[in-house]
Structure 1
Amino acid sequence: MLTFAWSKAKDFWKREDGLGMLEMILIIAVIIIIALLFRKELLRIVQRLLTKVDKKSDEVFSDN
């Protein structure tokens, strides 16, 4: 009985079915943590980029 339980435990440990999902969840968690830590800097970068895009689009469309 004990050897049967031990073999089932080994088999469960060797299976890699859910390993891909666990890795994806961990990667997403790390990305979210980094985004939260640097959110002010990220917001400033995005705002700067959007301002540049707005200025360039005004230049393009005002030259008619």
Structure 2
Amino acid sequence: MLKKWKENKLVSEWNAFWRQEEGVGVIEVVLILVVLIGLVIIFKTQITKLLENIFKEIESQSKEVY
């Protein structure tokens, strides 16, 4: 019961905050997403290589466990 009340309170406070900014928050979120997407596009090859190395390391260490 208390958990449900806290969730409702959190949702209502979030909604109040979101409305209070009158659209400025939406613009900020969109700009952050644009920057993040741009960074991913710019560094795509480096990110791919990094993730491949991480997964290779995970795979090699998981073989040691089994």
1:60 equivalenced with 2:65 (yes/no): yes
Unaligned runs of 5+ in 1: 1-14
1:28 equivalenced with 2:33 (yes/no): yes
Bigger CA radius of gyration: 1
TM-score by length of 1: 0.70
In the TM superposition, structure 1's runs of 4+ consecutive aligned residues that sit over 3 Å from their partners are none
Q: Say how many residue pairs are matched.
A: 47
TM-score by length of 2: 0.68
Q: Where does residue 37 of structure 1 map in the other structure? A: 42
1:16 to partner: Cα distance: 3.7
> How many percent identity over aligned positions?
26
